[in-house]
């Protein structure tokens, strides 16, 4: 006996649920109509619904990767004003955006004073890597050191270390703002050693190399850390004035000249040109 189309659809939806194909389930009827009116054969129909399932899966995986990476803000290279950093070549950054440094397990070191775009560039590179299917994690150095110290106390250090080793890219932001404790520095070095030549690192720092000993509080450790970090490393130096300060000053100047312009417009509209402002 032939089953009715309604029963068939119900069965199909049941099977698709069991097979975990939610997009095929949601789209199958609509795509069936489109394929019927286009005269597409069964295999083309199957291809269309499978493509939709894959696209949706990839989109969801991308969202999950971004969430897992824990970026503090969303930044892109398109938003980066290269004229404010004339020593950084846009071509070099665009080349890094392709992500081949991750496949080659190379590191990136962003060095420069506060507010010069180190975190911005590190985040933009990390978000791009997520889009390329890479497992990324963004962490401030102090945050990571705290996490490692807690893991050590709870005897979970091996677990935390192996979770970090599964990453394709670890971004360590702000090395050097707060000196690490002796144990903290050792744990950080331990992570850097574990990841060496397995996981790429992006490190942002305001410290010139000579001052790293102050933070890691140990010359031998500093030497060994620098050795691992800078072996196969792209060094980008940011410089000049803080972009935040520059931007704030520009905005202030902009609002002053805007006020001046609107005052002048008001003046000319009122036929007051050249009469000056009483009370100004
Ligand atoms: P850093 O990490 O070097 O202290 P940030 O990356 O946090 O600096 O930059 C501070 C703020 O200024 C951020 O909002 C960032 O997006 C912005 N910024 C810095 N440099 C630039 C730039 N060249 N173009 C656009 N925005 C920038
Ligand atoms: Mg920063």
64-96: pLDDT as tens digits: 999 999 999 999 999 999 999 988 999 999 999
Å from CA of 131 to ligand 1 middle: 22
Ligand nearest to the CA of 123: 1
How far apart are the CA of 170 and the centre of ligand 2, in A?
15
Residue 265: predicted pLDDT = 40
Residue for token pair 């020593």 = 87
Q: How far is the CA of 120 from the centre of ligand 2 (A)?
A: 7
Atom of ligand 1 nearest to the CA of 84: 23
Average confidence (pLDDT) over 174-198: 88
Is the pLDDT confidence value at 164 over 90? yes
Q: Does residue 186 register a pLDDT over 60?
A: yes
Q: Rounded mean pLDDT of 196-200?
A: 93
Task: Kindly state the tokens that stand for 133.
Answer: 């299917």
**Residue closest by Cα to atom 26 of ligand 1:** 80
Q: Is 20 helix (H, G, I), strand (E, B) or coil?
A: coil
Q: How far does residue 121's CA lie from ligand 1's centre (Å)?
A: 8
Say yes or no: CB of residue 205 within 6 Å of ligand 1.
Answer: no
pLDDT value at position 54?
97
What was the pLDDT predicted at 206? Answer: 92
Residue 58 has pLDDT above 80, yes or no: yes
Tell me the pLDDT band of 200, cut-offs 50, 70 and 90. Answer: very high
The span from the CA of 170 to the CA of 192, in Å, is: 10
* pLDDT > 60? residue 272: no
Tens digits of residue pLDDT in 106-144: 999 999 999 999 999 999 999 999 999 999 999 999 999
Ligand 1 center from residue 96 Cα (angstroms): 18
Q: Please check whether residue 151 is in contact with residue 245, taking contact to mean a CB–CB distance below 8 angstroms.
A: no
Please, what is the angle between helix 182-195 and helix 219-230, to 10°? 30
Cα separation, 130 vs 68, in Å, equals 10
For 215-246, the pLDDT digits (tens) are 777 888 888 888 888 888 999 999 888 887 87
pLDDT of residue 255: 66
Q: Is 120 in the pocket of ligand 1 (CB under 6 A)?
A: yes
Is 222's C-beta closer than 6 angstroms to any atom of ligand 1?
Answer: no
- Distance between CA 266 and CA 280 in Å, rounded? 14
The pLDDT assigned to 266 comes to: 38
Ligand 1 atom having least distance to the Cα of 116: 3
**What's the pLDDT score for residue 276?**
33
Expressed in angstroms and rounded, the spacing between residue 265 Cα and the centre of ligand 1 is: 35
Span from the CA of 269 to the centroid of ligand 2 (angstroms): 47
Pocket test for ligand 1, best of 109, 110, 111, 115 (most atoms within 8 A of CB): 115
SS3 state at 46: helix
Mean per-residue pLDDT for 186-211?
92
Q: Is the CB of 240 under 6 A from ligand 1?
A: no
Residue whose token pair is 């892109």: 76
Bridge-based pairing state of the strands 169-175 and 200-205: parallel
Question: Please, which pLDDT band fits residue 166 given cuts at 50, 70 and 90?
Answer: very high
What is the C-alpha separation between 88 and 124, in angstroms, rounded?
A: 15
The length of the chain, given as a count of residues: 280
Atom index in ligand 1 nearest the CA of residue 247 equals: 12
Nearest ligand atom owner, CA of 173: 2
Spatial separation of the C-alpha atoms in residues 94 and 99, rounded to whole Å: 9
Does the Cβ of 241 fall within 6 Å of ligand 1? no
Residue of 77, 117, 123 to test ligand 1 pocket, by largest number of atoms within 8 Å of CB:
117
Rounded Cα gap, residues 134 and 126, in angstroms = 9
Provide the percentage of residues in the chain whose pLDDT is more than 90: 69
State both tokens at 271: 């036929």
pLDDT of 270: 38
Any idea which of 3-17, 20-34, 79-93, 204-218 has the lowest mean pLDDT? Answer: 204-218
For residue 104, pLDDT beyond 90: yes
Cα 246 to Cα 3, 84, 86, distances in angstroms = 72, 9, 15
Residue 34 has what pLDDT?
97
Q: Give the ligand 1 atom nearest the CA of 83.
A: 23
């Amino acid at each position: 006996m032939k089953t009715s189309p309604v029963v068939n659809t119900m069965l199909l939806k049941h099977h698709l649920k069991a097979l975990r194909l939610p997009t095929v389930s949601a789209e199958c009827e609509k795509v069936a109509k489109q394929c019927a009116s286009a005269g597409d054969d069964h295999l083309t129909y199957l291809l269309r619904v499978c493509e939709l399932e894959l696209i949706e899966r990839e989109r969801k995986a991308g969202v999950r990767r971004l969430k897992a990476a824990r970026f503090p803000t969303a930044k892109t290279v398109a938003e980066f004003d290269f004229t404010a950093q004339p020593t950084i070549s846009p071509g070099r950054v665009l080349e890094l955006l392709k992500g081949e440094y991750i496949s080659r397990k190379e590191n990136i070191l962003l060095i420069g004073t506060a507010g010069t775009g180190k975190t911005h560039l590190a985040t933009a590179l990390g978000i791009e890597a997520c889009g390329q299917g890479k497992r990324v994690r963004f962490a401030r150095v102090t945050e990571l050191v705290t996490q490692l110290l807690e893991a050590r106390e709870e005897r979970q250090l091996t677990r935390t270390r192996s979770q970090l080793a599964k990453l394709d890219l670890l971004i360590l932001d702000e090395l050097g703002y707060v000196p690490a404790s002796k144990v903290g520095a050792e744990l950080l070095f331990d992570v850097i050693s574990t990841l060496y030549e397995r996981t790429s690192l992006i490190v942002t720092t305001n410290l010139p190399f000579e001052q790293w000993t102050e933070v890691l509080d140990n010359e031998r450790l500093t030497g060994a850390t620098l050795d691992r970090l800078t072996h196969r490393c792209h060094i980008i130096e940011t410089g000049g004035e803080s972009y935040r300060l520059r931007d704030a000053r520009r905005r202030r100047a902009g609002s002053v000249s805007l006020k001046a312009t609107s005052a002048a417009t008001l003046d000319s509209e009122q036929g007051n040109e050249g009469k000056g402002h009483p009370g100004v």
